Structures are given as structure tokens and as C-alpha cells.
Structure 1
Amino acid sequence: MPTGIAAKDSKVDVLVIGAGPAGLMSAFALARAGVNVRVVDKRPKKVAAGQADGIQPRTTESYGLSDRLLKEGTQLHVAAFYNPSRNGGIELTDRIPDVNATDTNFPFEVTLHQGAIEAIFLDDMRDMGVEVSRPVVPASIEVTETLVDDFDAYPVRVALERKHFESENEEYTEIVHAKYVLGADGAHSWVRKSMGIAMEGEQTDYVWGVVDLVPDTDLPDVRNKCAIHSNNGSCMIIPREDDKIRLYIQLEGKDVVDASGRVDKSKAGPEMILNVARKTLYPFTIKTPESYDWWTIYIIGQRVAERYTVHNRIFIAGDACHTHSPKAGQGMNASMQDSYNLAWKLVHVLKGTAHRSLLQTASKLNFHLGELYEFERRQYAQDLIDFDKKFAKLFSGKPYSELNLDGVSHAEFLKAFQTFGGFTSGLGVQYADSIIINSKHQHLAQHIRIGRRLPPRPLLRAADCRPIDLHDLLVSDTRFKLLVFTGDTHDPSQMGRVQRFAQELRAPGSFFAKFSSLEAMHTVFDIISISSEKKETIMYNALPRNLWSHWSKVLVDDIDMRGITGSGKVYSSLGIDSAGAVIVLRPDGYVAAIAPLDDVPHLSSYFATFLRAC
């Protein structure tokens, strides 16, 4: 240890290395669940400008971020397409919805620079007493392999070096003993490299420049997302907060790449990028701004890490395990979904509500915790890369014209844009069967897919007939949601079925009976009952008490008093018949299992595979 550097020693349940969106998402979720988490970052301060900026519908509707995102960000509702005109230059070809999805409360993108998005997490974490340690650089990491299967051990040892920053004169090395470590430290991840995890894939020949500025232009669609193909190159325009826009400009590699094939930023600058943009945008003009907010150049790389975990104790997430072009708006979104996918699983393991089967299961699929995380998120990353290869090729390719008959036509590009809409919106993610996805009773809800997120639906609260959206109750709080579709509880025979279901949940042979009280049960489960009885007759407190965790969580599938919200169609829209059903939602909002009301053993066996009672 260098002379004059103080030594410190500490323990933590989860050490997060990297305070970008992926790291902060995981730290936020863990801290909110009461987990002892520490976050370190090599940067002295959070990002001030630039970097990632696009939030897709799936991210907006998750995690409780929507209020500030919608207040501070810019909404993108329209995508405009420009292509070569017969008179030279470009012309408007088409305008379509930016997000090709209707089954969401947020059918649009939201743009906000990465620093502002980080601030949302940082402010909430500060309220929970969690701050990012800066500037802190990891120096070494090692795992005591003999302890990795010890549930209570701290087998990961990380040496951290605190660097001098502003008024703080002390430098020190700290030894952190952690139960788990998450490397969310970007595309050049120190954690990934230290663990010897290789990136699989390739680098393309596509070179792009990015510049953020307040535009002075006569392009009429500058406040819409624009995909522009010209004979002089391609361009994408993304509207931003505070009147700014982001320009993605295709560059000639020979102008900005050195002899080794790496980008040389000394050969470029925001003025050079803007000058290339002018050629692409012709006959429209854009003036030189007084200042540039941010700029960069990059070569598109499309790679996925060969694995996401080491010993099921060290994990990587976000750009540390997948890289691709930014124009599909998936980088930050995929990163945050990676880390939340892992976070809720870690919460249950650390709090003792996860059965040992999540760490080393005896199920036929034989997943470990880390392997389960990797199984779901690595497949998604590979699908993302496959999509990005097609999309980047179309976007960077020469446009079709009379002089270039082999070029990319508008019809071809538009078809790809719309075909992949479910993917780019984040709404089409499909998780395959595993110990936490069981598709046995798919037929009970024919219009939703087990393994996909549950769409929003308008309902009424039974107690006061207040219109409410189902998604408003599906908070990402690491609890499993049991949606009990009770059927028409005004029918005595159906109410009898519901009462028997409630009794079986409490019966000694039921998995749920292992939770000794409603309070203990509600730390793991949130139960919401949805009746098809009419609002005029339903008595919310007539339903068995263990089928609702709060008076506000008995809902009615009926039209509202004024008939203006579109409610009254949930059973039919989800394909649930009058016999009812139970839909199990994972903490991240994905449909995990479905069961009939008379098959509590199926629910018990599903949860007993990976959870255990406190």
C-alpha cells in the first residue's frame, strides 16, 4: 500500500461498481427493498450532458419514474422520413407514429439527457440514505471459491482506491467484502475484464458523429424524430429537452479513423459533424449555434458478453455485457432492465425469502441465480444485436434511387421500422420457460402471453367506483403480484368458488400457509382481486380478507359512472372466462404463471420451487 494512504475495511451485501443508469437502477431497487447496498464510480460527478437520452414505453411504465420523466423530458409522437428528391437534396416521404404500439399508457418515447435521468435515481436514493462514493476506482477483485455456496458469507473481496477530489485531501484504499458485486461500469468494464469475460461479436465499418445543440433551421420536422436518407449520407434527428436536438450523422471512416482502426477524435469536432449534416439535409439549412451542448464520434460495435456471471456472486449488466448502435434507443433501456431483472432476485435471496433453489435449484432446468439472470437477459441481448445488425445496415446503407437501384428503399426501411416496433418499444420482450416462468395454463388467459409484461387495463375500485388503471397498482417493489380474477361474485355459486380458493390458500398443505400472518405474506406478495360483478351490487369487503391486501385493491371490471374511461372489458380483452383465474406477475411486471381458482396446488408448487417462507 502506498505511504500515506489510510486503510479501511468494510462489509456490504451488494457492491455496485458504476453509477450510470444500470448501476443506479439496481442500487435504487435494492435500497428501496432495504438491502445494504454501496455504489462507487470513477467519475468525480454525474454526467452533465449528452450520453444516452431515449426512454422507451416499457421503461416509462416501470419503476415509478414516469412523473419526473414526463415533467422534464420531451415526448416523441411522430417519426418523419426524408428521402432523396428528384430535384436533388431530400424531401418529406412519410410521417407515422414513432412508437408502433397501442397497448400502453405511454405510446411515445421520452428524451432526456442521461445526467437528468441519473438525477432521478440519485435524488430518491439520497432520501433513503444512499450516496454514490466518488471518485473511487476498483483496483482488484477476487472470489474465495470455498465460500460461494455459503449463504451468509462475503466471498467477494474488492480493493477500492479513493482519489483526491476538490476539498477532500485524504486518499485511501478500502477493502470491501461483499456478498455480491454488480459490474455496471460501461462498455470498457473493468469488472468484465478482471473476470476474464470475453465479448463476442464484431465491429462494423459504420462511423457516426453525434452532436447536441439548439437548432436554427428551416427543416419543418425538426421537432419530430427524423430518419433521413440522402445521396450524401444518412442522419437521424432526435428532439430533446430545453429546445435542443440531437443529430446522428453518418461520417466517412477515412476522415476520422486512425491507422489502427480506432476513432481519432482529434480529426473531428462538432463543426465538422455539423458541416456533414448540412450536406445531408440539403436543401434545408441549419445555422451554426452559439455553442454545442455535447458531441462525440463512434464506430458501431455489436457484441454480447460470453457470460454474465462468475460463481453466481459477480454479475455484469448494461453496456458491460452488450454493445450496439444507439439509434434504436435501446442502450439505456436494456441496461436498466438488465439490472432490475437481477435486483429483484437478489432482494429475495438476501432477505431470506428466496429458496435455495434460486441459488442452486434441483429443478429439471437446473438454474443457478446468476444463470437464471443470464438465461433471460443474454437471450434478449442477442436478439437486440440481431435486430441492430439489420437496422444499422438499413440505416447506414445508400438510399434507393434511379442511380442506385440496389439501395435501401423507403418501403424496406419503413417495414423494418414497424416490424421491430414491439422490440424497440420494449413491449415485446418474451421470457422463455424456466423455474420462474410456467406456461402450463396459458389457455386460461388467451389474449396475453405468459413470459410477457401484462398490458395496462382500465378498471374501477370497488369501494368508491374510482376509475383506475391496473398498471397503477403494479408498482415495481420486488413483490410478486397475485391478480385474482374472481368472476361474478354476485353469483352465489361463483362466490363459493372464490371462498374455497381463499380457504385453500390458508390450508396447511398450501405453500402460502407457511407465511404465518397476512403481514408476513404481504412482504412477498401483493394480492389484488378483480371481480366481474356490477358496480351497483359489489361489496368489496364481502370478498375473503386474504384476497386483498388493502381496501383499494378490490377492483371491478365494469364501466365507470359516466361511461367515458373505456373500462368494463378487462376479462374479455385478456381472454379470461367467467370461471376466473389467478395471474401471477413477477416483480418486474412479467406474467409468470396462470392457474384456475381450483388449482392452488399448482400455485404452491410454482412458488415452492424458488421461494421459502420467512
Structure 2
Amino acid sequence: MILPSSPQSFVDVLIVSAGPAGLMCANAPAHAGIKVRIVDQKVVPVTAGHADGIHSRTIEILQSYGLAERLLQEGTRFDRAAFYNPGPDGGITRTRRTQAIFAPTGRYPYTVTRHQAGIQALFRDSMAAKGVLVEQPVIPTAIELSHVNSDIEDPKAYPVKVTLKHLDSAEGKSEVVYAKFVLGSDGAHSWVRKAFNIAMDGDQTDSIWGVVDIVPETDFPDLRNWAVIQSNHGTLMNIPHEGDMVRFYIQLPPDTDFMDPETGRVDWAKASAERIIECAARIMQPFLLSTVGEAEWWTVYTIGQRVARSYSVQDRVFIAGDACHTHSPKAGQGMNASMCDRHNLAWKLVYVLRGWAKMSLLKTYESERLKYARDLIEFDRKWSKLFRDKPQSEANEDGASQEEFLRMLETSNGFMSGIGIRYEPSAIVDPGHQSCASKLTVGERMIPHDFLGAANAIPVNIHDMLPSDTRFKILVFLGDISVEATMDRARALAKRMDAPEGFLKRFGQGAHEKVFDVLSICATTNDKMDFTDVPKLFRSHWSKVLLDDQDMTDRGGGGGYEAYGIDPAEGAIVVVRPDGHVGKVAPLEHLDDISRYFANFLQE
């Protein structure tokens, strides 16, 4: 172990940069009792602009942390998309309206916009409740990782030494921090990534984009929809925002002088919000466009489509978000991908730090999220090409057509919304026995569905029973326990699950409720049973017993077994990981397979 001559501080997790990804990964361990510090170089947090779109799956994740309700109250929802092409008179004409996000199993089948400061405030306030505040302005100036294998392999060791500089101190105060893990969420020019020479594969595109947030004065009718405008003067995306504000993403003409040809960087002396708005006005003709007051925020940038070769260094230093993947803003994946990176990693860090899981669990962060990032870049190349190509018109019959856009939306809906992301088989994704829950794809997130509380006959969405509290959720689909043989099977199952050799006792760390949250779902109508009928193991609390039945008004609930592809006569056990993805399904008789699943990565 590296030991300082005069140590100043030790910490479980040090996070560099307080963007959405960093805050996501600070919030979860903080609530799990892990010692976390998070530093950021900015003097004050961002107050406007930057990343803005939250897709269906990310809203579900925020809901699992108890943060979605505030997002939905403060953000702007849009459900509809409008498409415009060049018109016969040289202007633009609307060719179609359609659903904005195709998320058939999404609990929130729409997108919500909220500027990045608002998103970050969700996490900052949540962390503050646990006494964790962002330290700023603070930057790392040096980082060292121990070369001693015993340090790297011992989860109790502090193998990372980081020197931090406090920029607000007159003498430039520095301190040394010894960390078990360091997480770099410090953007496309990541200091952490460069410190360990992690290469980025990909290239810089020649696309130049301007972004501006304004309150417009316009007669454009689709201002409050997601609108994709392809004109003879360029391409524009209209995104509704808070209040009367909108955001324009504008692909600037290739002959623009916004970029310095020698450096390839923005020439800020020539770029301005006014010039971006002038480009928007040309694209939107014949509709009129002016602004009410000044732009709230704007920027100009070129697009790089790159992905890091590695997401970790010895599973002690990790990178996430723009630090390991950069792409265009056109599908709104940046902030969503970044937060999902850290949502994937957070629970794994907690398990290792608590001593509940083997260090090897951390390798699944890179294997799962790196593949996703490569798929994201490939998707972004295809999506960007549709925007870059000249639109189809009478004068350009070979241009990008609206049908191509719609096909891309429909075929990529699971990827864009996030609800279709699937992790490949691994130590924590075991697709064996997939047929016993044929419509719950192992590796994908748990599908939301309304069930009834057996104790009160009130509908509850299964997602509300799967909070991000770092526990594995064991969903036991018992079948219809009003049938005597099924009830006998349920009692026998409870006895086997609670036996010393069962996975609850083997991996439950002395009190299985710390690691496993057991719920039962019965295919029994609410008039034929009480929640107390199920064996005690399956009802640690009255809220843990659910029914696959309609509510008292026949407006919701029912059909859950069918939706998940589970035979009520056979039942099934579904293991949901702490990040909401299905890790394993098995018949009720195959408890040994579930034990083997957990033995892959948990400590007995």
C-alpha cells in the first residue's frame, strides 16, 4: 500500500468533475454509506445551456433514485415530432408529424428537456442530504497508481494517490488524497484519461454545429414539438424547452468562417448567437423568426465521433461520459449515455467496497458500457449522415428522404430511448432458462407493468418496487396460490430458499435483506387471497406481495404474467440487478442455478 509521509485524507471514491455523470456516481454511493468526494474546476456550477434531453430509460433510472417527479415538474415534455422538407417556392413545408420517441414498453414514452444545471441540481440536492457537497474550484494536478499487485487486488487498499489544487486559495493550496477508486467524468478533453494515456479511436467530422437557446418571436407552428427541418439553406432541429424557450441545433454551412482553418477550433471573435440565429432564420423561411431579448446560451463546435479503447486502469481508475465517448448531439445521447455509464458502475463499486462482491465484478463495467459506446458511435454515424446529406427534393431526388428518417427512428427506437439496451452474457448476465420468462430479455432492463398490492388492491408499477438501493430484487412469480397444489409448491420453495445452502443465506451477509429484496407476484384474483396467505419469506412487508389482477375499477393491472412470458401454472424466479437490468431467470425448481449465478461474483 502507498503510505504518505504526512497523509491528509483517505477516501473510498474520488470523483473528478461534477457533470451529470460524476454527480450520478457520487449520489448513489453517498446514499449507500460510502465515503465519497467530488471535485470540479468551475468556480460555480453551470447555470444554463449545455446538455438538455432526457430520454425514456434515463427517466426510469431517475425514478429509481426518487428524482423523476421533480424532473417532470421542472422539465418540458414533448411527444410529437414534425418533419419539414424544401418546398416548391424555395422555403420549407411540413411533410409529416409522428411520434417523437418510439418506446413501446417505456414507462415514460417521451423525452423531457431540462438544461444541464437543472439536471445537476437534482443530484446536488440529493447528495447534500447525505452531507456530500461538490468541492470547487478544485483541480487534480497529479495522479499515481500503485504498481504493487497486492494493493491493486485488495479492495481495502488505497492504491491511487491524487494531488488536488484548491484554486480559490491565495497560496494555491494543495493536498494529497489517497483513494480506493478514482472516477474521471471530466469531459471530452479528460485530464484523467490523458494522465493514463488511454487512446480514443475515431475521427473528427467536418460538421460544424451552432446551438442557441432563445425565446423566439415566430409564426412557426411546430415550436413546441421536436421539429427536424431540412431546407436548401441547411438543417435545423427545434427542441422545446422550459417556459417559452426553445433550443435550435443548426448545421452551419461548410463555408462558414466560425472555425479557424489553422487550429480547427472555434474562432470566438467571429462566432456569435446573432449569427447563429441569422442562419436559423434563413433555414426556416417562409416562417418569420426574431428573438425576445438576448439568447440565454449558445455555442459552436465540431463533432468528433470517438470512443476510448479502455474504460478503466486496473479496475481502480475509471472514466465515463464524454471522457470515453464523443458523438453528435442529434439524437440526444450524450448526457443519457454518461449517466447510464455511472448508473452501471455505482452499484458495483458499492458491492466491492462493502466486501460483498469480488473485485472481478468491476470488469463488467467496461465490458458492458464499452460495447454500448461502440454501438452508439456506429448509430451516430448513420444518424449524422441523414442530417449531413442534402434533403430530397425535386431538384435533388437522391437526397435524404423523410422515409429514411422515419425508418431510422423506428428501427433504432430501443437504442435512442435506451429501453432496448441489452448487455451480453457475462458473470452477471446469465441467459439460461430464458424460455421460462420468454418476454423478459435477460440483459435488458425490467419491463414496467402495473400489478395490485395484495394488501390494499391499489395498483403499483413494478418499477416503483425496484428502487436503486443497491439490492438485488428477487421477483418470485408463484402462480395462483388459491390452487392447493400451487400453495404447497410455494411453501416448499420458501423452505428451500431459506435453507443454509440457499443463496439467501450463502450470499446474504448475515441478514439477506441487506443484499436481497424478495417480492412475490401471485396469479390470483384479489378476492381469493390475503397477503398473509403467502409464506412469510415472501412477505417481509405487506407491500412485498403483488397480484396479477385488475384494480377495483377495472382500469389497470392484470396481464403481467402474459406480458413477461411466464406460465402461471409453472411460475418463475426473476433476478433484477441493482441497476434494473434482468440478470437471471429460472424455473422455481432451479434454485441451484440462481446460487451458481451469484457465486460468479458475490462473496459468501
Taking structure 2 as the reference length, the TM-score comes to: 0.96
Other-structure match for 2:603: 612
Aligned partner (choices 157, 161, 178) of residue 157 of structure 1: 161
Other-structure match for 2:80: 78
Gaps of 5+ in 2: 1-5
Other-structure match for 2:384: 392
SS class of match (1:43): coil
SS class of match (1:254): coil
1:541 shift after superposition:
1.5
Say whether residues 1:506 and 2:498 are aligned partners: yes
Counterpart residue type for residue 32 of structure 2? A
Q: Is the 8 A contact 1:309 1:370 kept in 2?
A: no
Map 1:408-447 to 2 at 5 A: 408-447=400-439
Q: Is the 8 A contact 1:530 1:555 kept in 2?
A: yes
Other-structure match for 1:364: none
Say whether residues 1:555 and 2:546 are aligned partners: yes
State the Cα deviation string for residues 271-292 of structure 1 (Å, max 9, x = none): 0001011110000011133111
Say whether residues 1:13 and 2:12 are aligned partners: yes
Gaps of 5+ in 1: 1-6, 360-367
Whole-angstrom CA distance in 1 between matches of 2:190 and 2:508: 44
Counterpart residue type for residue 231 of structure 1? N
Other-structure match for 1:568: 558
Whole-angstrom CA distance in 2 between matches of 1:152 and 1:474: 29
Counterpart residue type for residue 25 of structure 2? S
Say whether residues 1:496 and 2:495 are aligned partners: no
Other-structure match for 1:37: 36
Other-structure match for 2:519: 528
1:151 shift after superposition:
2.4
Other-structure match for 2:345: 342
Whole-angstrom CA distance in 1 between matches of 2:284 and 2:60: 35
Aligned partner (choices 265, 279, 296) of residue 293 of structure 1: 296
Whole-angstrom CA distance in 1 between matches of 2:508 and 2:183: 34
Other-structure match for 1:248: 249
State the Cα deviation string for residues 588-612 of structure 1 (Å, max 9, x = none): 1111100111111111111111112
Whole-angstrom CA distance in 2 between matches of 1:523 and 1:119: 29
SS class of match (1:61): helix
Other-structure match for 1:3: none
Q: What is the total number of aligned residue pairs between the two structures? A: 591
Map 1:221-370 to 2 at 5 A: 221-255=222-256, 256-260=258-262, 261-354=264-357, 356=358, 359=359, 368-370=360-362
Whole-angstrom CA distance in 2 between matches of 1:65 and 1:429: 22
Map 1:100-139 to 2 at 5 A: 100-139=102-141
Q: Is the 8 A contact 1:486 1:498 kept in 2?
A: yes
Q: Is the 8 A contact 1:497 1:598 kept in 2?
A: no
Q: Is the 8 A contact 2:189 2:323 kept in 1?
A: yes
Say whether residues 1:214 and 2:219 are aligned partners: no
1:553 shift after superposition:
1.0
SS class of match (2:265): coil
Other-structure match for 2:3: none
Whole-angstrom CA distance in 1 between matches of 2:7 and 2:355: 29
SS class of match (2:193): helix
Other-structure match for 1:372: 364
Q: Is the 8 A contact 1:8 1:173 kept in 2?
A: no
Whole-angstrom CA distance in 1 between matches of 2:319 and 2:244: 36
SS class of match (2:8): strand
1:369 shift after superposition:
3.7
1:65 shift after superposition:
2.0
1:476 shift after superposition:
1.3
SS class of match (2:218): coil
Counterpart residue type for residue 395 of structure 1? F
Report which stretch shifted further, 123-132 or 413-422: 413-422
Report which stretch shifted further, 591-600 or 507-516: 507-516
Whole-angstrom CA distance in 2 between matches of 1:75 and 1:267: 34
1:64 shift after superposition:
2.5
Counterpart residue type for residue 163 of structure 1? L
Cα–Cα, structure 1 residues 188 and 516, in superposed 2: closer, same or farther, change >3 Å? closer
1:569 shift after superposition:
0.3
1:416 shift after superposition:
1.1
Q: Is the 8 A contact 2:531 2:539 kept in 1?
A: no
1:501 shift after superposition:
1.1
Whole-angstrom CA distance in 2 between matches of 1:95 and 1:252: 26
Counterpart residue type for residue 385 of structure 1? I
1:514 shift after superposition:
2.8
Whole-angstrom CA distance in 1 between matches of 2:323 and 2:392: 37
Other-structure match for 1:382: 374
Counterpart residue type for residue 49 of structure 1? A
Whole-angstrom CA distance in 1 between matches of 2:561 and 2:344: 28
Q: Is the 8 A contact 1:61 1:106 kept in 2?
A: yes
Other-structure match for 1:182: 183
Q: Is the 8 A contact 1:312 1:369 kept in 2?
A: no
State the Cα deviation string for residues 31-78 of structure 1 (Å, max 9, x = none): 011111100000111111100000001011113321011000000110
Report which stretch shifted further, 582-591 or 96-105: 96-105
Whole-angstrom CA distance in 1 between matches of 2:261 and 2:551: 68
State the Cα deviation string for residues 143-202 of structure 1 (Å, max 9, x = none): 1121111221100000000012xxx65641010000000000111100000010011001
SS class of match (1:145): coil
Whole-angstrom CA distance in 1 between matches of 2:10 and 2:497: 39
Whole-angstrom CA distance in 2 between matches of 1:129 and 1:162: 20
Whole-angstrom CA distance in 2 between matches of 1:94 and 1:576: 39
1:15 shift after superposition:
0.3
Counterpart residue type for residue 518 of structure 2? I
Q: Is the 8 A contact 2:215 2:291 kept in 1?
A: no
1:340 shift after superposition:
1.1
Whole-angstrom CA distance in 1 between matches of 2:525 and 2:251: 59
Report which stretch shifted further, 151-160 or 491-500: 491-500
Whole-angstrom CA distance in 1 between matches of 2:587 and 2:109: 32
Counterpart residue type for residue 129 of structure 2? D
Whole-angstrom CA distance in 2 between matches of 1:259 and 1:250: 18
Q: Is the 8 A contact 2:217 2:290 kept in 1?
A: yes
Counterpart residue type for residue 364 of structure 2? L
Identity, in percent, stands at 50
Taking structure 1 as the reference length, the TM-score comes to: 0.94
Whole-angstrom CA distance in 2 between matches of 1:170 and 1:132: 21
SS class of match (1:325): coil
1:375 shift after superposition:
0.5
Aligned partner (choices 585, 588, 594) of residue 594 of structure 1: 585
Cα–Cα, structure 1 residues 524 and 170, in superposed 2: closer, same or farther, change >3 Å? farther
Counterpart residue type for residue 523 of structure 1? K
Q: Is the 8 A contact 2:304 2:328 kept in 1?
A: yes
Q: Is the 8 A contact 1:440 1:593 kept in 2?
A: yes
